[in-house]
Amino acid sequence: MVATRFAVAVHILLLLAIEQSGQATSARIAASVNTNPVVIRRIAGRLARAGLIRVRRGPGGAELARPPESITLGEVWRAIHPADTPLLSMHRPNPEDPIGRRVPDMIGPAFRAAERALTDSLSSTTLASLLARAEAPH
């Protein structure tokens, strides 16, 4: 579910970067994403709280709060995925078992390293670079 919300958030930002200001209502964005406007409003709320978009109620629609060159996918990820919730969660092994009690210490560092690699990679990609890919000849 998190990955889907992230993809929808990026889709919203791309649409806002391409369409004229004021034209991107939740209904318009929902039609492009192929989902319900309520889903768009929830995700847009997170993007607005992160300072990535500005939302006006009614016919005003939404717009980017900053130029596409200054918005990274890492920022979008952090807006959608709370920092205190790990992407790769640990189950609850039996603390009385000699193996079970050691499993979190054995795999925890690998999980944290994988999440760091993901966020580092996303932080090196801007919205503008995605737009440039779409405009490049295939």
Q: What is the mean pLDDT of each run of 10 residues along the chain (138 residues)?
A: 84 92 85 96 96 84 94 96 83 95 95 93 96 78
- Of residues 94, 88, 98, the one with CA closest to residue 119: 88
Q: What angle do CA 133, 50, 79 make, to 5 degrees?
A: 65
Query: What pLDDT does 2 receive?
Result: 58
CA-closest candidate to residue 127, choices 77, 83, 80, 86: 77
Sequence spans of domains, the chain? 2-84+126-135
pLDDT at 23 (0 to 100): 77
| pLDDT score of 3 | 65
Contact in structure between 30 and 57 (CB atoms under 8 Å) = no
The CATH architecture to which 2-84+126-135 belongs is Orthogonal Bundle (1.10)
pLDDT for 137 equals 64
pLDDT value of residue 50: 96
Report pLDDT for 15: 96
Q: Which of 44, 38, 37, 42 is nearest to 65 (CA)?
A: 44
Q: What is the pLDDT of residue 136?
A: 67
Q: What is the DSSP letter of 20?
A: P
* pTM (global) more than 0.75: yes
Burial classification of residue 62, based on how many CB atoms lie within 10 Å of its CB (0-12 exposed, 13-18 middle, 19 or more buried): buried
Query: Which of 86, 87, 89, 11 shows the shortest CA–CA distance to 43?
Result: 11
